[in-house]
Amino acid sequence: MPALQDPRDRLIVALDLADVAAAEALVERIGDAATFYKIGYRLGYAGGLEFAARLARRGLKTFLDLKLHDIGNTVEEGVRSLAGHGATYLTVHAYPQTMRAALRGAAGSGLKILAVTVLTSYDESDAREAGYALPVPELVALRARQAAEAGIDGIVCSAVEAISVRREIGPDRLIVTPGIRPAGADLGDQKRVMTPGEARAAGIDHVVVGRPITGAADPRAVAQAIVAEMA
């Protein structure tokens, strides 16, 4: 992966908002304090895909966090369609067949595929309830190893697993972590978290931050503080 030249690129602001108008307003408030934005289900299903394309045309980076998982042909063709939106990253779940199909769909485009190992809202009891026999750290390591074998571009995982994931995927693939909270911030539904500074020290390439920025009285100032902490 190429080195990140702009320190602002390490922060991905999660636009988990109800509509495009709210997202547009937030992007304007943040201004040049951020360069990278995540669009997930909530906004994506409310016009967010076209909004992502508009951001890309403005020179901003976008991350489509859609966590695709389906039969191989469906994933491959879906990724091929999404590759036309100018996004930088797209997520799929870290199942081998799904990852291989996504890479086929992205071939020839600039879209990078990130694999989600275990959701950061999961702890051991959640994993057991979902039927997984492996402890969360072992499940994350297994999926990271399978992702590397598939040739995936990067991994989405909890910050607390970043060091073990790096061992599995090597130095040349990306690690992107949600569940990042500035010191003193409300954890919300996240259970495996780090501060931005701790995340950078762990060798994480990008942190994804939503509510601490989107819910702030001054989102621009919070974004600037996170970038500064990571630097």
Q: Binding site for substrate: which residues?
A: 16, 38, 65-74, 120, 181, 190, 210-211
Residues 6+ apart with CB under 8 A from 113: 79, 89, 90, 91, 92, 99, 102, 103, 106, 152, 153, 154
Which of 6, 9, 32, 67 is the catalytic position? 67
Return d(Cα 124, Cα 129) in angstroms, integer. Answer: 9
Is there a catalytic annotation at residue 123?
no
Known binding residues: 16, 38, 65-74, 120, 181, 190, 210-211
Angstrom distance (rounded) from CA 180 to CA 205: 13
Q: Token pair for residue 171? A: 């130095």
61-68/89-93 β-pairing: parallel
CB distance 112 to 89 below 8 Å:
yes
Q: Strand pairing partners for 38? A: 14, 63
Active-site residue flag, 67: yes
* Catalytic position from the list 61, 65, 112, 205: 65
Catalytic residue among 9, 19, 70, 126: 70
Known catalytic membership, residue 65: yes
Q: Which of 55, 102, 97 is nearest to 80 (CA)?
A: 102
Phi then psi dihedrals of residue 85, to 5 deg: -90, 0
Active site residues: 65, 67, 70
